């Protein structure tokens, strides 16, 4: 595994990602409800890719790995929204009612209380709330009166299942592999649990007492972290290709089809170069 080679391929895939953002932008195809939702997510996810590159180039592998999970989560959310027309409206309703509820947030921990200044004016807000916002609030309120904390009922695995059924075996396979490689263990690394620390450092594979000296341990653990970061970048690369494939199928534009073909050709050539080096 070679992180520099993987990083070069990531920069190639990022260029195709940027091209597809432009191809489905309002500037290119006009306004659509779908792009009004996924457009900002695509843009923000591209900034995450730029951060991942910076972190890789500066040997900050832990934070690189941490960023991979929200990146993959966003790819899955975009795919799910594309596969489920109702999710476009649901995501907007969730955003609107969430913003309204946040006006009145409070928090109390052991008697230390924080309250929004708007809380004392909640009745005035309620009396002037438009009907579409009332509907959104109702949609995201449980029977017991508490706020519904997710914008859809499906969990991430269920979102993936719908994406795979909608966009085919190719997308299903790549995103399932990325989900398997990233989701569970990176969550532990994000929360910096002891298990997460062991996964990142390499202690889950080899205990520090097994080394002759600190230099040998440092060499092993350092190489482990590079290999783990390289694996994660590989998953990001195949996730980008899967995302472009989804957008190709959803928008049915020649421009997006060409971008996907270029992305796919680059990925095949990259995989072939690895085979040649290993043969």
Q: 194 pLDDT exceeds 70?
A: yes
Give the DSSP H/E element, type plus range, for residue 114: strand 112-115
Please, which pLDDT band fits residue 211 given cuts at 50, 70 and 90? confident
Encoded tokens for 49: 């890719």
pLDDT the model gives residue 207: 78
At 84, give phi and psi (nearest 5°).
Answer: -135, 100
CA distance 171 to 177: 10
pLDDT the model gives residue 55: 98
Strand partners, 113: 108
User: pLDDT tens digits for 158-179?
Assistant: 999 999 999 999 999 999 999 9
Q: Which of 108-112, 211-215, 247-251, 253-257 shows the lowest per-residue confidence on average (mean pLDDT)? A: 211-215
pLDDT the model gives residue 279: 56
pTM: predicted TM-score of the whole model, two decimal places: 0.92
Q: 110 pLDDT exceeds 80?
A: yes
- Beta-carbon contacts of 82 under 8 Å, excluding residues fewer than 6 positions away, are 34, 38, 166, 246, 247, 250
pLDDT the model gives residue 212: 87
Encoded tokens for 124: 């005035």
Domain residue ranges in the chain: 3-89+154-278, 90-139
Q: Which of 11-25, 146-160, 198-212, 213-227 shows the lowest per-residue confidence on average (mean pLDDT)? A: 198-212
Please, which pLDDT band fits residue 276 given cuts at 50, 70 and 90? low
At 115, give phi and psi (nearest 5°).
Answer: -135, 145
Average pLDDT over every residue of 87-114? 95
pLDDT the model gives residue 205: 82
Q: 209 pLDDT exceeds 90?
A: no
Could you tell me the maximum CA-CA distance found in the chain, to the nearest angstrom? 73
Q: Which of 51-55, 255-259, 265-269 shows the lowest per-residue confidence on average (mean pLDDT)? A: 265-269
Which DSSP category does 60 fall into? -
């Amino acid at each position: 595994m070679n992180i520099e080679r993987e990083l070069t391929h990531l920069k190639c895939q990022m260029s195709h990602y940027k091209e597809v953002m432009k191809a489905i932008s309002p500037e290119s195809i006009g306004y659509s409800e779908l792009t009004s939702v996924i457009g900002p997510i695509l843009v923000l996810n591209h900034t995450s890719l730029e951060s991942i590159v910076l972190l890789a180039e500066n040997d900050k592998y832990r934070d690189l790995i941490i960023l991979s999970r929200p990146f993959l989560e966003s790819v899955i959310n975009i795919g799910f929204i594309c596969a489920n027309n109702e999710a476009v409206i649901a995501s907007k309703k969730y955003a609107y009612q969430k913003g309204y509820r946040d006006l009145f947030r409070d928090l109390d921990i052991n008697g230390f209380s924080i309250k929004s200044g708007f809380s004392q004016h909640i009745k005035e807000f309620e009396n002037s709330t438009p009907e579409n916002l009332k509907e959104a609030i109702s949609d995201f309120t449980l029977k017991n009166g508490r706020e519904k904390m997710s914008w859809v009922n499906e969990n991430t695995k269920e979102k993936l299942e719908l994406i795979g059924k909608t966009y085919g075996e190719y997308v299903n396979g790549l995103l399932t592999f990325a989900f398997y490689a990233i989701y569970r263990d990176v969550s532990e690394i994000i929360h910096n649990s002891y298990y997460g620390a062991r996964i990142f450092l390499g202690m889950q594979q080899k205990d520090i007492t097994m080394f002759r000296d600190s230099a040998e341990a440092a060499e092993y653990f350092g190489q482990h972290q590079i290999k783990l970061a390289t694996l994660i970048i590989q998953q990001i690369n195949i996730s980008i290709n899967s995302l472009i494939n989804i957008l190709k199928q959803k928008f049915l534009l020649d421009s997006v089809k060409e971008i996907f073909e270029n992305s796919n050709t680059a990925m095949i050539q990259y995989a072939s170069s690895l085979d040649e080096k290993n043969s």
